[in-house]
A and B are shown apart, each in its own frame.
Chain A
């Protein structure tokens, strides 16, 4: 069974621009969560989607948004990029609505200049 895939793997953007990241979960997994990982803050929860509905949201500004499609694929969008948004963005999928065991993708490395 194929793992979680994320595209693109690397991205360089300029301050003020916006970016969209994509995540395809493991087949059959309906829950998708997004995390931001930085050396200083560690792994921070962004949001979780289940069956196209946002079930939970972390403490990030409204510039960060996401959605999930009927095939469980998910996208996250960051508008008006800031230098501090430079991070590894990780997507994780899990089988059930109860967020239990998560399977992570390789991440998208975003650099904002």
Chain B
């Protein structure tokens, strides 16, 4: 059974601080996705990383896929209150028929 773990589970920081969220598994994935979900809404896809070692940047967000394609990280620089939400990582199975979601990291950025 493929499982994804995320850490930390909860994070509360001041506006302007930097943070990193981790997503780990013992399984290999064909790609890994990051989503952000706000209360009462569905998750919104932020990025997909496909190649081991790949780094993608989305404004102040930097996403990295591990060399072995088993883990990923999300780094936010100078966090803003608008970054508040639940960050979910999701691994696409190597057979491309299943998406496994991590439990999420709940981020609160305090003004």
Distance between B93 CB and nearest chain A CB, rounded to angstroms: 8
Partner of B42, one of A56, A92, A101: A92
Cα(A109)–Cα(B40), bound, Å:
8
- B43 closest partner in A (C-beta): A104
Count B interface residues, CB 8 Å: 21
- Do residues A90 and B43 form an inter-chain contact, with CB atoms below 8 A? yes
Q: Determine chain A's interface SS by DSSP, over half rule.
A: strand
- Do residues A106 and B41 form an inter-chain contact, with CB atoms below 8 A? yes
Interface set, chain A 19-59, CB cutoff 8 A to B: 33, 35, 42-43, 45, 48, 55-56
Cα(A90)–Cα(B45), bound, Å:
14
In the complex with contacts A99-B96, A101-B48, A42-B42 CB distance below 8 A: no
Query: Is A7 an interface residue, CB under 8 A from the partner?
Result: no
- Do residues A98 and B96 form an inter-chain contact, with CB atoms below 8 A? yes
Query: Is B84 an interface residue, CB under 8 A from the partner?
Result: no
Interface set, chain A 56-113, CB cutoff 8 A to B: 56, 90, 92, 98-107, 109
Q: How large is the interface on A (under 10, 10 to 19, 20 to 34, 35 or more residues)?
A: 20 to 34
Query: Is B99 an interface residue, CB under 8 A from the partner?
Result: yes
- Do residues B104 and A45 form an inter-chain contact, with CB atoms below 8 A? no
Q: List 16 A-B contacts (CB under 8 A).
A: A4-B42, A35-B101, A42-B102, A43-B101, A43-B104, A99-B96, A100-B96, A101-B33, A101-B45, A104-B43, A104-B44, A106-B40, A106-B41, A106-B42, A107-B41, A109-B40
Residues of B within 8 A of A (CB): 31, 33, 35, 40-45, 48, 88, 92, 96-104
Residues of A within 8 A of B (CB): 4, 33, 35, 42-43, 45, 48, 55-56, 90, 92, 98-107, 109
